[in-house]
Amino acid sequence: FAYTVSNGVSRSQRAEVAVHVRPAPSDVTPPQVVWNSPAADGVVANVGLAPLVDLDTVKLYGPGVRVHFSEALDSSTVTTRTVHLAPAGGQPVSLFVTYLGIDNGVAAYPLQPIQHDTAYVVTLAPEIADLAGNRMASPVTWRFDMGQTTAQRVFLPIIRR
């Protein structure tokens, strides 16, 4: 944050203040998943085929994968190399992956529509680490099912003559 000081007559130059909180040197606890969405063994329904986000440079599709961790992570360890989404037994889907430091969260979104009526597996690689460098104890994997696609319905008025 930034501040200035004034005595009513003159004003100081703007000063920038940064607060850095570093982990304790004795931190040896690896980060743990607190919750995730979609839920393990859950069914995701009502996901359309249109992108959730459509920018000039990227389109992001649903469902988004969200993971909340027990502590802050080293953001450089949260990448497309450590967060995977794939159909069960299939090849990984291309993802947009980001670390959300404000809530110790990870968000990942497919870069193309994914198949409905299909089981998907999310895998978090053990290379994901906290700020002290502690890596996850083991990979974290869960499965969810994609339900039916939501069809666009058009309702036309009935005109009586």
Averaged pLDDT, 128-143: 96
What per-residue confidence (pLDDT) applies to 82?
98
pTM: 0.77
Distance (Å, rounded) from C-alpha 45 to C-alpha 13? 55
Closest-CA residue to 126 (of 40, 37, 36, 31)? 31
What per-residue confidence (pLDDT) applies to 49?
83
What per-residue confidence (pLDDT) applies to 161?
64
Rounded percentage of the chain residues whose pLDDT exceeds 90 = 64
What per-residue confidence (pLDDT) applies to 27?
87
- Give SS3 for 79: coil
> How far out from the chain centre does Cα 86 lie?
16
Q: Please state, as a whole number, how many other Cβ atoms lie within 10 Å of the Cβ of residue 97.
A: 17
What per-residue confidence (pLDDT) applies to 140?
98
Helices marked H in 116-160 — which ranges? Answer: none
Non-local (6+) Cβ contacts of 20 within 8 A are none
What per-residue confidence (pLDDT) applies to 120?
97
What per-residue confidence (pLDDT) applies to 152?
53
C-alpha separations of 146 from 76, 111, 115, 117, 123 in Å: 30, 16, 7, 5, 16
Q: What is the pLDDT of residues 13-52, one digit of tens each?
A: 888 888 777 666 788 999 999 999 999 999 998 787 888 9
- 40 residue type, one letter: A
Q: What is the pLDDT of residues 88-102, one digit of tens each?
A: 999 999 999 999 999
For the four alpha carbons of 81, 84, 89 and 90, in that order, the dihedral sign comes to: negative
What per-residue confidence (pLDDT) applies to 33?
97
Q: What is the pLDDT of residues 56-114, one digit of tens each?
A: 889 999 999 999 999 999 999 999 999 999 999 999 999 999 999 999 999 999 999 99
